[in-house]
Amino acid sequence: MVIKPRIRGFICTTAHPRGCAAHVNGQIEYIRSAGPIDAGVKNALVVGCSGGYGLASRIVAAAGCGADTLGVSLEKPPSSKRTATAGWYNNLAFEEAVDGYARTLDGDAFSDELKADAVEAIRNDMGKLDLLVYSLASPVRRHPRTGFLHRSALKPLGETLRMKSLNVDKGEVIEVALEPGTEDDIANTVAVMGGEDWEMWIDALAEADLLAPGFRTLAFTYLGSDLTWPIYWEGTLGKAKEDVDRAAAAITRRLAHLGGSARVASLKAVVTQASSAIPVVSLYMALLFRIMKERGLHEDCIRHIYRLYATQLATGATQRLDEAGRIRVDDVELSEPIQGEVKRRWGVVATENIAELGDLPGFREDFLKIFGFGLAGVDYEEDLDPALGRDVR
Ligand code: NAD
């Protein structure tokens, strides 16, 4: 089949196997050319490894630190009629391209079964872990103890929020009215995107005695600026991220006997499957990218995560921590000159001037790249088997 992007709102229902491979290989090449990082990471587990910040974290661990990696993700394989999801192709490309051990477990990271499979793989193939990067972003979680299916909500709290947003398809600046979340929405979002599952991973690995002395674990958060606070940090998602902060402290106590630590790292806004679903944030990102590119300060996923490892995780690095103990690599995005200009443009941005003020083409390009479209050197007219090299299941 000739594979073209099929976009439905903020999701693309097709993915290009060669394009995804080119995207992954480009990131690996970037890390190889950026130079090795001595971070004492020999064995790493990345939960949420198939896209966005998790994939970048796995690539830096393997190609930058020379680590063996186990990845966990929830992706769909191809059939004779449908392409796989992008992450499925990404995992395949990653496993083929890196040196050393690289295995991916596809399944529900929230389940006890998947955790048991990971424990077995680590015990049999890797030995003890030095690093666990927890980079899950999911709309739902079936709780392993209660069986309840929690659905997260992307909602403000308090009053109806009226704010500018972006219709990326049409290139229109619109006003959205977002109804506030309820106590149930908060509880469900905390259950899905909060820190409990991260703690469960650490418990499962610690009980199996698979954590090396000095073991470190990271989870990611987004603090953002006061422009995005009403929908993010002060909304249902912010409550979940507060719970991730709580979990970091609890896990650090649990790791004391190993001299280990758990940190939350606050990252920059980038276009991923998860972030493109958040209203308001799309318009913020279009303005932010334009300004950061104009000033030569823009970072994509892989460049940002390289900086995280090279400046914050490398042996001997002095970490930039905030008062809550989080690692801050969102410093450039949140710096006064950048935020001052984003706010000035936010006040005046409209459909008529988004082309001058924002970076809609850059946003769309990043979005398509997630699904393997728009990569240089890929023949998008090629008639391909979507299973490319793997049996159709
Ligand atoms: P993403 O959508 O690109 O990746 C999510 C990953 O989670 C994928 O690998 C997916 O397969 C996996 N996943 C989802 N449900 C799963 C399940 N049940 N079992 C196993 N795997 C599952 O997301 P992202 O934007 O890279 O987000 C990762 C983390 O980074 C999140 O904590 C997010 O809040 C944080 N973060 C993102 C941004 C941003 O701008 N994108 C900024 C700061 C922090």
For 102-114, how does the pLDDT look when each residue is reduced to its tens digit (9 = 90+)? 999 999 999 999 9
| pLDDT in the model for residue 390 | 64
The residue behind tokens 């009053």 is 159
Q: What is the average pLDDT score of the chain?
A: 96
Q: Is the confidence at residue 277, as pLDDT, over 90?
A: no
Burial 92-112 (b: 16+ CB within 10 A, else e): bbbbebbeeebebbbbbbbbe
Q: Please tell me if the CB atom of residue 105 comes closer than 6 angstroms to any atom of ligand 1.
A: no
Q: What is the pLDDT of residues 285-294, one digit of tens each?
A: 999 999 999 9
Does the pLDDT at position 392 exceed 60?
no
Ligand 1 atom nearest 221 alpha carbon = 44
Of ligand 1's atoms, which has the minimum distance to the CA of residue 269? 40
Q: Is 135 in the pocket of ligand 1 (CB under 6 A)?
A: yes
pLDDT (average), residues 295-303? 98
10 Å CB burial of residue 350 (0-12, 13-18, 19+) is exposed
From CA 113, how far away is CA 109, in angstroms rounded? Answer: 9
Angle, alpha carbons 246-252-257 (nearest 5°) = 155
Average pLDDT over residues 157-181: 95
**% of the chain beyond a pLDDT of 70:** 99
In this predicted structure, the answer to whether residue 393 has a pLDDT above a threshold of 60 is no
Q: Are 175 and 160 in contact (CB under 8 A)?
A: no
- pLDDT tens digits along 335-355: 999 999 999 999 999 999 999
The dihedral through the CA atoms of 233, 234, 235, 239 has a sign that is positive
Residue of the CA atom closest to atom 3 of ligand 1: 52
Which are the catalytic amino acids? 232
- Which atom of ligand 1 is nearest the CA belonging to 50? 9
Q: Is the predicted pLDDT of residue 389 greater than 70, yes or no?
A: no
Closest to 56 in 3D by CA, of 297, 265, 338: 265
351, 172 in Cβ contact below 8 A?
A: yes
pLDDT of residue 80: 83
Contact 279, 178 (CB under 8 A): yes
pLDDT band at 391 (very low <50, low <70, confident <90, very high): low
Compute, in angstroms, the gap from residue 344 CA to the centroid of ligand 1. 30
Categorize the per-residue pLDDT at 388 as very low, low, confident or very high, splitting at 50, 70 and 90: confident
> Hunting for tokens 């400046």 — which residue is that?
311
- From 24, 53, 59, the mutation candidate for ligand 1 (largest count of ligand atoms within 8 A of CB) is 53
The answer to whether the CB of 252 falls within 8 A of the CB of 261 is yes
Contact between 282 and 340 under an 8 Å Cβ cutoff? The reply is no
Distance CA 216, CA 42 (A): 12
* Percentage of the residues of the chain whose pLDDT score is greater than 90: 93
- Kindly state if the Cβ of 138 falls inside 6 Å of ligand 1: yes
> How many CA atoms lie within 13 Å of 339's alpha carbon, on the beta-carbon side?
14
Average pLDDT over residues 216-240: 97
